[in-house]
Amino acid sequence: MTKRKFVISIVIFLFSLQYGFSQRARVANLQNYDNKKYHFGFILCLNKMYFSVEPASDISDKVYTGIQIQDLASDSARLYSVESNPTTGFTIGIVSNLRLGKYFDLRFIPSLAFGERELEYSVLNYYNNKSNIVGVTKKITSTFVDFPLEIKFKSQRYNNTRAYVLSGMKYSIDLASQAHKKEENNQLEVKLLKNDFSFEFGVGFDFYTTYFKFGTELKMSYGLNNMLKYEDNIYTGGIANLKSKVFLLSFTFE
């Protein structure tokens, strides 16, 4: 499923839920819930991690040899292209919500996120005076400790439903960062730096049940830092910028 179809499906799903909940007057659940100064909960998410890749302007000009291509069976090689391939992971976290006013909340959601991303390289190999194009995949596993701080703007409550938008910043630490690891067994790895900052934006709906508030949310996270650790090999030499992007489908219980 493409990202566009994914987003459209979620939006249709959310509006369908809102429509269904708002068709008839209902007994208001948790009537004083939003008057509390603060409350807590937890969050479960499906994440889609990938990279925003900016190739170097001279990506196909440079010739790589020796230890720069030690995991390729070739005398020399050129890099033609590099693309990101997203995979699905999951995130769990704790919700801390501070009421700022009737329509605004401040949210701090420390989370643990697990995921894997792939970089797909198209390489022109030269071996014994012959050339051929091969594809190389480098998998990068990450375990993030995330610290997002967000402002949540809520609509007027209708029956037991309320829509909202939110935005904020996130600081992330990659516990699986390979930045200081040495190469082993002649296998070149793509290594990421440990720390990152991201801008986040999301939309969602809150549903007030008898005992708790349930929320469903679609959020996008855009990394601000170049996360690539540059080394003298073909897999980093052709990349000018490598930034993180994450799509999150979240479910909150507060």
| Distances in whole angstroms, Cα of residue 19 to Cα of each of 6, 57, 156 | 20, 49, 15
Q: How many residues does the chain have?
A: 254
- Residue 94: band (very low, low, confident or very high) from pLDDT cuts 50, 70, 90: very high
Q: How many domains would you assign to the chain?
A: 1
Using the predicted structure, report yes or no on whether residue 179 has a pLDDT greater than 80. no
pLDDT for res 104: 95
**Gap between the Cα atoms of 145 and 94, Å rounded:** 12
Mean pLDDT of 77-97: 92
84 in helix, strand or coil? strand
pLDDT for res 248: 95
Is residue 5 a part of any domain in this protein?
no
Amino acid residing at 143: T
Using the predicted structure, report yes or no on whether residue 8 has a pLDDT greater than 80. no
Mean pLDDT of 121-143: 89
pLDDT for res 60: 85
Is residue 177 a part of any domain in this protein?
yes
Is residue 25 a part of any domain in this protein?
no
Residues 134, 123 contacting (CB under 8 angstroms): yes
Is residue 153 a part of any domain in this protein?
no
- Residue 90: band (very low, low, confident or very high) from pLDDT cuts 50, 70, 90: very high
pTM for this model (two decimals): 0.82
Look at 13-17, 68-72, 73-77 and tell me which has the smallest mean pLDDT: 13-17
Using the predicted structure, report yes or no on whether residue 149 has a pLDDT greater than 60. yes
Averaged pLDDT score across all residues of the chain: 88
Q: Measured in whole angstroms, how far is the alpha carbon of residue 181 from the centre of its chain?
A: 24
**Gap between the Cα atoms of 179 and 89, Å rounded:** 22
Q: What is the helix (H) or strand (E) element at residue 202, kind and residue range?
A: strand 195-208
**Gap between the Cα atoms of 25 and 40, Å rounded:** 28
Is residue 202 a part of any domain in this protein?
yes
Is residue 64 a part of any domain in this protein?
yes
Is residue 14 a part of any domain in this protein?
no
- The region, left, alpha or beta by phi > 0 then psi within -120 to 50, assigned to residue 117 is beta
Question: Could you tell me what percent of the chain has a pLDDT over 70?
Answer: 88
Q: Which residue has the higher pLDDT, 22 or 213?
A: 213
Mean pLDDT of 113-137: 90
Residue 197 sits in which domain range? Answer: 38-147+158-253
pLDDT for res 58: 87
Is residue 135 a part of any domain in this protein?
yes
Using the predicted structure, report yes or no on whether residue 19 has a pLDDT greater than 70. no
Using the predicted structure, report yes or no on whether residue 20 has a pLDDT greater than 90. no
| Distances in whole angstroms, Cα of residue 219 to Cα of each of 15, 125, 149, 245, 247 | 16, 41, 13, 11, 6
pLDDT for res 215: 94
**Gap between the Cα atoms of 143 and 174, Å rounded:** 5
